Amino acid sequence: MTEQRSRALDIGTMPRGGPNASWLDRRMQTDVLEYIDRFDVSDEIKQVVISELDRQDWHEDHARTALALVADIDHPRILELGAGHGKLSAKLLELHPTATATITDLDPTSVANIAAGPLGAHPRARTQVVDATTIDAPENSYDLVVFAMSFHHLPPAQACRAIAEATRISTKFLVIDLARLPTPALPLIPLLGLLIAAPGALRKGPLTILPFLHDAIISLLRAYRPQALTALAQAADPAINVEFLPKPPPLTCAVFSRT
């Protein structure tokens, strides 16, 4: 029991750069919440941020990465965590004629919006409010769990529990997220956030896009390194393996599975 508590405490305070992160790497992270994680922020602002995330148009590439992991399964059962507006699940169902998708998010408003749209009437889709750290499903309920562009929202202790839960209910757990910048480039995060937000600012005006800029900078500061993801998996269960798939910057891609 003492060893387990010690390990949990170490993971709870682990830097986003991993157990051996440098001084600068440890300094260039934050516990500040993104707007979409805050209860004191209106749903309108949250939906602005999610809409701008959707405009990054990574959904088809992420969907093809996910489907490659279940290519040998005729009727893959896929659970998406942190689905936002559900665009990734929509692409999964479009690309695979027999896949089923359970589309979930912690935010009830996002789930209600998905349910009220085309996905809510899709015969191979269902929507549900789900906390990634406590998934109400038995073991082996799914062939794949996908968590795209949202894993960094979880602090280390919660991220560890999410890995344990996802690999409990599924054969594989795919995490696609922002990659943590190389240590010398971390001070450039505000500039990179501006570059990411610039297209939205041109369309909607700088004041409208400020929430997305805020969340883009916070996301980059909260992103995990591969070393951190490996440490999280080992803390969740030493039997969990991690494979990193090639992705161009600014993305990282990890597949967690149990031996």
Q: What is the average pLDDT across 29-58?
A: 83
For the chain, percent of residues with pLDDT exceeding 90:
71
Of 19-28, 43-52, 113-122, 214-223, give the lowest mean pLDDT range: 43-52
Q: How far apart are CA 149 and CA 151, in angstroms?
A: 6
pLDDT of 188 reads: 86
Q: Using 50, 70 and 90 to split pLDDT, how confident is the model at 35?
A: confident
pTM for the predicted model, two decimal places: 0.90
Contacts of 191 (CB under 8 A, 6+ apart): none
pLDDT at position 6 over 60: no
- Average pLDDT on 118-132 reads 97
Given a cut of 90, is residue 210 above it in pLDDT?
no
Coarse DSSP helix, strand, coil percentages of the chain, rounded to the nearest 5 percent: 50, 20, 30
pLDDT number for residue 251: 93
Q: Give the pLDDT band of residue 55 (cuts 50, 70, 90).
A: low
Name the token pair of 13.
């305070």
Distance between CA atoms of residues 84 and 50, nearest Å: 6
pLDDT at 41: 86
pLDDT digits 0-9 by tens, 151-179: 999 999 999 999 999 999 999 999 999 99
C-alpha 201/C-alpha 212 separation (Å) is 9
DSSP category for residue 117: S
Q: Does the pLDDT at position 42 exceed 90?
A: no
Return the structure tokens found at 214: 């805020």
Q: Which residue has the tokens 């699940």?
A: 89
Query: What average pLDDT does range 2-25 have in this prediction?
Result: 77
